[in-house]
Amino acid sequence: MTATHSTTATSIARMLRPRSVAVAGVSSTPGSLGGQVVANLDRFGFAGDIHIIHPKQNELMGRRCVPSPRELPDGVDCVVLAIPGHAVLDSVKACAERGVAGVIIFSAGFAEAGEEGQAKQRELAAIAARTGMVVVGPNCLGFVNYVDGICCTFGGADPFKPGHPAPAILSQSGAMASVIRAALNARGLGVALTVSTGNEAVNGIEDFMAHAIDDPAISVLAIVAEQIRRPREFLALAAKAREKSKPIVMLHPGRSAAARESAVTHTGAMTGDWDVMKTLVEHACVGLVTTMDELIDVAEMMARFDHLPSRPPLVLGESGCFKALMLDIADDAGLDLPQPEGASYDVLNKLAPGLILATNPVDLTAQPLVDPDLYTRALPPLAADDRYGSVVLGMILSSPTMAARKTEPVLKAIRSIEHRKPMVYAMLGDEAPVPENYVGQFRDLGIPFIRSPDRVLRALAVVTKLGARLEKAARAKPHTAFPSAKRLPAGVIPEYRAKALLAEAGLTMPSGILARTLAEAQAAGAELGYPVALKAQAATLSHKSDAGGVILGLDSPAALAEGWRRLEANIAKAAPGLVLDGVLVERMAPRGGLELILGVRNDPAWGPIIAVGLGGVQAEALGDVRLLPPDLDETEIAAELHKLKAARLLGPFRGAPPRDVPAVAAVVARLGTVVLAHPEIAEIDINPLMVFAEGQGALALDALIAVR
């Protein structure tokens, strides 16, 4: 039989909350991996049955042994294989025969270890596909279910039951899962579940995401993925998490070529295009981070905040230098810090006239030491200002004495706020001693206490951008499915046919006529009006300029005739024997336009994505391209265009007029409609798209479509 999603979900639920666990790889030698698993289960107080598998011993760790998985009772929920790689396949087969729900494989030496290892991993997958048995790993650290007290890992882990819905950690790297779990536990937050998925021979992050989204004990998903193996399923699950108000933060190494190569040797991942992933997962309302620090800080903010802020923060500090540093960091992180207005301006302006200025960040100076009630006068009205989504308390704590003087009035002020918005305590002082009771009081109020203002702002930038995307998604109308149009023929669609298809979608092209003879071309020139261009047309001539198949600026019938002969000679030399569909005679575009390039790539894994950039060397040499999901509206697309490095060229710039950005946005939106209606399209290239002065539109001068 072949496993279904419902079978997998049931098996995962059984494995993560087992009534019975079997462990292979227990030894009388202290420190064996299997022995550590049994010890962890005992230490966590696991109340179910524990079976030990050993081929020679009758008893280990005070428990009777069975010689093989084939001797296990029917229907064991979880089997941990802490055994050498060469013995894994036979054990997995035996587990499948006994109706085991899930198997955890610690051993390495599979897909990350060359062709032989990849073959073994494929065989693992085939066994699981026939039976519906869940396989975690190989090359993993297993899982810890803190809510139910079940520790199926050989790593060091201490019982720490969260008292409320808590984050789940899903990581292909077992080491990183352990680091994040330890950090969140140390902050008093607790973790509901941590799963290390390793090579993901059978089951991966997507399967455990589905479980976590439905689990009421889980509030936040913190993910470390070196590769997302089922991207479209991941995006669908992200949408489901959004509907259930379970935010996701993800760390995805692989921005650099070296990191991508490392991932292959580590987990057997074949990493995809990081920028494509970033564009689409952020569009799906996943908070993407680039460091472990950010992952930990963002996960804590998501877990402690009642709601994610969608507007920028107000920052309170005690130093002019700190104020300048925060402005720099906020700028680097893309976090706006709007200046106070109205009631907030008045409140700040009256705190200590001449000493405290109404700015953001606010420099409170040392005045709170003289006037501790200042916080009570300032925080409640500032927290009520809807222009700010959060408040950052950037306070200097250099000693326990200073902590006592400052934190009591701050805590008093916070408790006086009736409707408190998200707050973060951003301590200056690094590892300076602070009494734990003060730290705990902030955390009990749902306020992260983080010993780095830099980290606070960088994490808050991720959280705030995500909050804004979630807020926008909640307001959005339900997505209308694009009806599939008549399937396009496979292969390359040459320019003249591609332009006809795109014109039907609303794109504007230069006027053109396909000619098969010189006489037809001259008739077309007379009809279109000079000057004209000649363009050779054939499905196998994708790069017609390279073959001399484009002749520009023909301004008379005589020039057209000479150009026709030259084009024929060029093609005969570059592609002997090629039979053209014809030659596109096209009216030359007006002068004064700015060249852009547009491309649609229907990624086999992720789906369609659109690239837009300035033409010439900007896009290719400087990487000046914006990647966009295909379903953005025109307002969003225009905003993205203004994020190009060379966006100033969209004008006005050095005497050139402002360009018709709305026209470009409309072209991009219509391209998105085309590729969503035609999933068989592999690529669309428009190079160049000529954009003219504001109100004068944009013309697609060349176009090509490739169909799978």
Domain boundaries of the chain, sorted by first residue: 1-140, 160-304, 306-475, 511-587, 594-707
Q: How confident is the model at residue 262 (pLDDT cuts 50, 70, 90)?
A: very low
User: What's the token pair of residue 205?
Assistant: 């992050």
pLDDT digits (tens, 9 = 90+) for 450-477: 999 999 999 999 999 999 999 999 887 7
Per DSSP, the three-state class of 622 is helix
* Strand order, beta sheet including 102-105: 59-60, 63-66, 49-53, 20-24, 78-81, 102-105, 134-136
Q: How confident is the model at residue 618 (pLDDT cuts 50, 70, 90)?
A: low
User: What's the token pair of residue 435?
Assistant: 């009494």
pLDDT average, residue stretch 92-110: 92
372 cis-preceded (ω within 30 degrees of 0): no
Q: Which of 109-113, 310-314, 511-515, 622-626 has the lowest mean pLDDT?
A: 109-113
pLDDT average, residue stretch 155-181: 91
Task: Check for a shared fold between 160-304 and 306-475.
Answer: yes
Radius of gyration of the chain (CA): 31
Give pLDDT, residue 592: 87
As beta bridge partners, residue 659 has 693
**C-alpha–C-alpha distance, residues 502 and 671, integer Å:** 8
Q: How confident is the model at residue 264 (pLDDT cuts 50, 70, 90)?
A: very low
Report which DSSP code applies to 604. T
**C-alpha–C-alpha distance, residues 629 and 239, integer Å:** 15
User: In Å, how far are 158, 353, 488, 491, 536 from 541, measured between CA atoms?
Assistant: 65, 74, 19, 12, 8
Half-sphere exposure of 287 (CA within 13 A, CB side): 32
Instruction: Judge contact between 596 and 664, C-beta under 8 A.
Output: yes
Higher pLDDT, 232 or 621: 232
Instruction: Judge contact between 54 and 141, C-beta under 8 A.
Output: no
- The pLDDT of residue 4 is above 90: no
Q: What is the DSSP string of 159-202?
A: ----SS-EEEEEES-HHHHHHHHHHHHHTT---SEEEE-TT-SS
**C-alpha–C-alpha distance, residues 133 and 61, integer Å:** 28
Q: What is the DSSP string of 502-541?
A: HHHTT-----EEEESSHHHHHHHHHHH-SSEEEEEE-TT-
- The pLDDT of residue 258 is above 80: no
Query: Which run of H or of E encompasses 390?
Result: strand 390-393
473-477: Cβ within 8 A, 24+ apart: 473/242, 473/285
All residues at 6 or more sequence positions from 345 whose CB lies less than 8 Å from its CB, including other chains: 358
Q: How confident is the model at residue 101 (pLDDT cuts 50, 70, 90)?
A: very high
pLDDT digits (tens, 9 = 90+) for 24-34: 999 988 889 99
Fold classification of 1-140 is: Rossmann fold (3.40.50)
Please give the angle made by the CA atoms of 585, 590 and 595, to the nearest 5 degrees: 95
SS (H, E, C) 323-339: HHHHHHHHHHHCCCCCC
Which amino acid is residue 47, in one-letter code? A
- The pLDDT of residue 272 is above 50: no
pLDDT digits (tens, 9 = 90+) for 331-375: 999 999 999 999 999 999 999 988 899 999 999 998 988 888 899
User: In Å, how far are 56, 84, 85, 199, 431 from 25, measured between CA atoms?
Assistant: 12, 8, 11, 20, 42
Q: What share of residues in the chain are helix, strand, coil (percent, to 5)?
A: 40, 20, 40
CATH of domain 511-587: 3.30.1490.20
Higher pLDDT, 483 or 360: 360
**Cβ atoms < 10 Å from Cβ of 1:** 8
pLDDT digits (tens, 9 = 90+) for 553-607: 999 999 999 999 999 999 999 999 999 999 999 999 999 899 999 999 998 889 9
Give pLDDT, residue 483: 58
User: What's the token pair of residue 384?
Assistant: 């009520």
CATH class label, 160-304: alpha beta
Which amino acid is residue 115, in one-letter code? E
Q: Residue 166: which of 152, 145, 150, 151 has the closest Cα?
A: 145
As beta bridge partners, residue 498 has none
**C-alpha–C-alpha distance, residues 478 and 42, integer Å:** 50
pLDDT digits (tens, 9 = 90+) for 648-684: 999 888 878 899 999 999 999 999 999 999 999 999 9
Q: How confident is the model at residue 619 (pLDDT cuts 50, 70, 90)?
A: low
pTM: 0.90
**Cβ atoms < 10 Å from Cβ of 244:** 11
Give pLDDT, residue 113: 74
Phi, psi angles (nearest 5°) of residue 12 = -65, -45
Query: Which run of H or of E encompasses 553?
Result: strand 550-554
**C-alpha–C-alpha distance, residues 703 and 430, integer Å:** 57
From start to end of 107-179, where are the E strands? 134-136, 142-145, 150-152, 166-171
Fold classification of 306-475 is: Rossmann fold (3.40.50)
**C-alpha–C-alpha distance, residues 85 and 140, integer Å:** 13
CATH of domain 594-707: 3.30.470.20
- Say what angle helices 205-214 and 5-16 make with each other, to 10 degrees: 70
Phi, psi angles (nearest 5°) of residue 381 = -70, -35
Share of the chain above pLDDT 70, in %: 95
Give pLDDT, residue 2: 47
- The pLDDT of residue 52 is above 50: yes
Give pLDDT, residue 168: 98
Burial 496-524 (b: 16+ CB within 10 A, else e): bbbbebbeebebebbebbbbeebeebbeb
